[in-house]
Amino acid sequence: MSGTFLGMPTAPPRGTGNIRGSEPFPAAARTELGNAQLRRNVGKATRTIRDKRIAVTGELPDWEELRSAGAAIKRDVLSRLPDLLEQFEQAVTARGGTVHWARDAAEANAIVTRLVRGTGSDEVLKVKSMATQEIGLNEHLADEGITAIETDLAELIVQLGADRPSHILVPAIHRNRAEIREIFLRAMPGVDPDLDDDPAHLADASRRFLRDRFMRARVAISGANFGVADTGTLSVVESEGNGRMCLTMPETLITVMGLEKLIPSYADLEVFLQLLPRSSTGERMNPYTSMWTGVTPGDGPGEFHLVLLDNGRTATLADEVGREALHCIRCSACLNVCPVYERTGGHAYGSTYPGPIGAVLTPQLAGMDTGSGDPNGSLPYASSLCGACFDACPVKIDIPSLLVELRHQHVEQAGFDAEQALMKAASAAMASAGRWTAAQRAAQLGRLLGRGGRIRALPPPGSAWTSARDLPVPPKRTFRQWWDSAEGRAAIERARREGGAR
Amino acid sequence: MNARETVLGRVRDALALAPPDAVQVPRDYRRRRSLPPERRRELLVDRLEDYRASVHQCDTAEAPGAIATALRGARRIGIPAGLDRRWLAEFDGEVTVDSAEVPSARLDELDGVVTGSAVSCAETGTIFLDSSADQGRRALTLVPDLHVCVVALSSVVAGVPEAVARLDPVRPTTLISGPSATSDIELDRVEGVHGPRTLHVVLLLDA
């Protein structure tokens, strides 16, 4: 129960779904770093998109003004969110759409399942969508006996490969053409057995595979890049035309949209239609953008359902500093400039949202459980804080500052078992000479853990420290031991003599 | 409490816990640009060709010839009900007038489609289709493999804000920038996936 009506605001609950990995970032990153193919592919992709983005953003003399406008529009949306959400709902409903509200992943999945069942179909086509990835919709539908087919080429590669996406924009970027050919030959029904690994032929194979599915589709599921509050318009930005197919051909369209995707007015699209493609793919404009408002008799689906998703977004909104992460328009520019992401790829982050923005958004949406070694607690440290992500962000999200704030929150909440315990122990040791000497001797055991002058992993609770940084190994002798040694005594004696001779 | 009330309550709670300041959105980016027709034409053609669209520039009187050239190889084409039939005077194939009664899947039997356009943005090379009578429903410009799109130079604006300002939000709207494309495999751009693989733009210089 919300405390709203008692006048006592309570912090909203965190989100659920695919926003938590199975192991902390450093461990996952170590595994990924061992994958040379992945590093090559991701490195090439990020460099290419980075250069294209710089070229096309440089073309616009008002790029900085657009970024400022984009940031302010998003801040404005969040400040008026209750009113705008109601206005949006009313506009969608007035145009023949139906709006559903989902508190969390499970509720959103249940709503979509019920709607799909209502159509009598056990197969749905899907447009690439971060929100449905976040709530684990495909897996849920499979459990319910409904087959969800991804129609974006990269998502299809990931799905047929029983794999996970590794990038927001190009989810299969960790795969090369030979691997994709193998996946298609193995898992794509009806594929030509003579298929080679030419990208054009691979794209054509997906066209053939999906063509008649598009023609007979009865229900499709999409995400949304933007929802316009004043008109009820929704928008999907894409390249291949699979989005247009899903939004146009079926009888029923179900769109799942995070409630932060709202923009106040239709005219605001003029800002985001410039910011998104240039930041995302480094193009002046993506090949296809679809905009629709409710239903239009004789054009497109006769039934339109919109699922508005909370799933931790209101919890993020409750944090005055962290709410800035809700400005994100999922362009992935921050991934492509991040030296950490470039080396580890997206899987190391464990969440639907990888890279710098994922390192911020994931712990905010799903929380950082204290005391349980929650992988989400490691994400704020998965950054060198170099600031490249801030420079690249089209809506000026200050990701480095948000990461520092999350580190602070993490230490405040979770620090007691780790660093705080260590500091307490240090303080107790320093309070007594005997204990201090004993502690120093104990520390020398640390030499056994080190290699090449560095200690890379300490046992708990020291592991909390070494999970993010190396330690120099302790010296062979402490200062006191040196002082008491023959060598030390000789050195002191020498210094005395020199002092006396002056 | 139902989900709607709960979520809206959470949003209000969140804002009550950390009240935001009112925001003034700065609008000092370029919103109302005008370019001389010659510059608009050059920019649009450059951008369209960069997107691998074929551009045919001509006066209205030459449009039927340009369209017939663009349709070469297509035997059966579809058109929206409001298309100016004079544009097809030199096309000798079969013409089907589309309507809402035709199942969209039947459009797959067409070799191509000829439509008009609502507005175009020169700076990005983007054509906006708003489902007016000369453009038809969205499926018509999607399913056939060849799209011949007629653009009047007078409907070309400089930038995205000027184009968005001309749209009617209620109409289903499609923005096209070149043919369908993907870069999902090693970032190699491949033209033509699910949408039309070929886009011809007939630019009417006197209209």
Out of B30, B100, B182, closest to residue A62 by CB: B30
For chain A, give the longest Cα–Cα distance.
106
Query: What are the backbone dihedrals phi and psi of residue A221, each rounded to the nearest 5 degrees, phi first?
Result: -125, 130
Q: pLDDT of A89-123, one tens digit each?
A: 999 999 999 999 999 999 999 999 999 999 999 99
Beta bridge partners of A307: A100, A256
d(C-alpha A259, C-alpha A261), whole Å: 5
Q: pLDDT of A392-444, one tens digit each?
A: 999 999 999 999 999 999 988 865 555 566 667 777 777 887 877 777 777 77
Position A241 scores a pLDDT of 96
Beta bridge partners of A237: A289
Quick check: A215 and B105 CB within 8 A? yes
d(C-alpha B169, C-alpha A266), whole Å: 7
Q: How confident is the model at residue A4 (pLDDT cuts 50, 70, 90)?
A: very low
Quick check: A270 and B160 CB within 8 A? yes
Distance from CA of A11 to the nearest CA of B (A): 7
Q: pLDDT of B83-128, one tens digit each?
A: 999 999 999 999 999 999 999 999 999 999 999 999 999 999 999 9
Q: What is the mean pLDDT of residues B193-204?
A: 95
Nearest CA among A285, A292, A286 for reference residue A250: A292
Q: pLDDT of A226-265, one tens digit each?
A: 999 999 999 999 999 999 999 999 999 999 999 999 999 9
Quick check: B12 and A9 CB within 8 A? yes
Quick check: B13 and A82 CB within 8 A? no
ipTM field? 0.97
Position A498 scores a pLDDT of 85
Restricting to B residues 115-144, those with a Cβ less than 8 Å away from any Cβ of A are 121, 123-126, 131, 137-139, 142-143
Q: Name the average pLDDT for chain A.
A: 91
Position A3 scores a pLDDT of 43
Position A414 scores a pLDDT of 64
For residue B54, give both structure tokens. Answer: 């074929």
Quick check: B186 and A95 CB within 8 A? no
User: Are B166 and B119 spatial neighbours (Cβ–Cβ below 8 Å)?
Assistant: yes
Helices A81-94 and A63-79 pack at an angle, to 10 degrees, of 90
Rg, Å, chain B Cα set: 21
Quick check: B184 and A157 CB within 8 A? yes
d(C-alpha A382, C-alpha A26), whole Å: 8
Helix, strand and coil in chain A, % to nearest 5: 55, 10, 35
B85 in reach of chain A (CB within 8 A)? no
B192 in reach of chain A (CB within 8 A)? yes
Strands (E), B59-172: 76-79, 94-97, 112-115, 119-121, 126-129, 146-152, 156-157
Element (H, E) at A340: helix A339-344
Q: How confident is the model at residue A2 (pLDDT cuts 50, 70, 90)?
A: very low
Q: Is A7 exposed, middle or buried (0-12, 13-18, 19+ CB in 10 A)?
A: exposed
d(C-alpha A49, C-alpha A39), whole Å: 15
Nearest-5° angle of CA B135, CA A233, CA A262? 145
d(C-alpha A57, C-alpha A37), whole Å: 30
For residue B85, give both structure tokens. Answer: 């039939």
Position A458 scores a pLDDT of 72
Residue A4: left (phi > 0), alpha (psi -120 to 50), or beta?
Answer: alpha
Handedness of CA B59, B64, B69, B70 (dihedral sign): positive
Strand B146-152: give its sheet, edge to edge: B54-58, B198-204, B146-152, B112-115, B76-79, B94-97
User: Are A422 and A465 spatial neighbours (Cβ–Cβ below 8 Å)?
Assistant: yes
d(C-alpha B177, C-alpha B170), whole Å: 22
| Closest chain B residue by Cα to residue A292 | B172
Out of A10, A76, A102, closest to residue B23 by CB: A76
Residue whose entry in the numeric block shows the structure tokens 């919300």: A2
Residue whose entry in the numeric block shows the structure tokens 């320093």: A430
Classified as helix, coil or strand, B201 is strand
Position A433 scores a pLDDT of 78
Length, in residues, of chain A: 502
Beta bridge partners of A97: A304
User: Are A284 and B124 spatial neighbours (Cβ–Cβ below 8 Å)?
Assistant: yes
Quick check: B183 and A300 CB within 8 A? no
CA distances A304 to A45, A114, A247, A404, B129, Å, are 36, 14, 10, 42, 21
Number of H helices, E strands in chain B: 4, 12
- Chain A residues within an 8 Å CB radius of B188: 199
Quick check: A290 and B174 CB within 8 A? yes
First to last CA, chain B: 59
Position A427 scores a pLDDT of 78
Q: Mutate which of B194, B197, B198, B201 to disrupt the A interface (most A C-beta within 10 Å)?
A: B194
Quick check: B7 and A101 CB within 8 A? yes
d(C-alpha B172, C-alpha B199), whole Å: 20
Q: pLDDT of B33-49, one tens digit each?
A: 989 999 999 999 999 99
Question: What DSSP designation does A255 have?
Answer: E
Q: Pairing relation of β-strands A219-222 and B198-204?
A: unpaired
Q: pLDDT of A67-92, one tens digit each?
A: 999 999 999 999 999 999 999 999 99
| Closest chain B residue by Cα to residue A95 | B170
Classified as helix, coil or strand, B1 is coil
Q: pLDDT of A374-385, one tens digit each?
A: 999 999 999 999
Q: pLDDT of A287-309, one tens digit each?
A: 999 999 999 999 999 999 999 99
Share above pLDDT 70 across residues of chain A, in percent, rounded to a whole number: 93
Does A340 have pLDDT greater than 80? yes
- Chain B residues within an 8 Å CB radius of A170: 183-184, 187
- Chain A residues within an 8 Å CB radius of B123: 284
Distance from CA of B106 to the nearest CA of A (A): 8
User: Are A335 and A170 spatial neighbours (Cβ–Cβ below 8 Å)?
Assistant: no
Quick check: A12 and B21 CB within 8 A? no
CA A444 to chain centre: 41
| Amino acid code (one letter) for B107 | L
d(C-alpha B174, C-alpha A248), whole Å: 11
- Chain A residues within an 8 Å CB radius of B26: 65, 68-69, 72
Out of B13, B30, B196, closest to residue A3 by CB: B13
Query: What are the backbone dihedrals phi and psi of residue A25, each rounded to the nearest 5 degrees, phi first?
Result: -50, -50
Position A205 scores a pLDDT of 95
CA distances A43 to A50, A179, A281, B36, Å, are 11, 17, 15, 43
CA B12 to chain centre: 40
Does B130 have pLDDT greater than 70? yes
- Chain B residues within an 8 Å CB radius of A325: none
Residue with the bigger pLDDT between A351 and A474: it is: A351
Classified as helix, coil or strand, B184 is coil
- The structural domains of chain B, ordered by start, are 36-204 (3.40.50.10420)
Distance from CA of A430 to the nearest CA of B (A): 42
Q: Mutate which of A216, A273, A279 to disrupt the B interface (most B C-beta within 10 Å)?
A: A273
Does A183 have pLDDT greater than 60? yes
Position B96 scores a pLDDT of 97
Question: What DSSP designation does A315 have?
Answer: H
d(C-alpha B89, C-alpha A478), whole Å: 97
| Closest chain A residue by Cα to residue B105 | A215
Does A141 have pLDDT greater than 60? yes
Position A460 scores a pLDDT of 66
Position A420 scores a pLDDT of 63
d(C-alpha A263, C-alpha A229), whole Å: 6
Share above pLDDT 70 across residues of chain B, in percent, rounded to a whole number: 100
Q: Pairing relation of β-strands A226-228 and A233-238?
A: antiparallel
Position A464 scores a pLDDT of 66
Helix, strand and coil in chain B, % to nearest 5: 30, 25, 45
Q: Pairing relation of β-strands B119-121 and B126-129?
A: antiparallel
Classified as helix, coil or strand, A38 is helix
Does A468 have pLDDT greater than 70? no
- Chain B residues within an 8 Å CB radius of A101: 2-4, 6-7
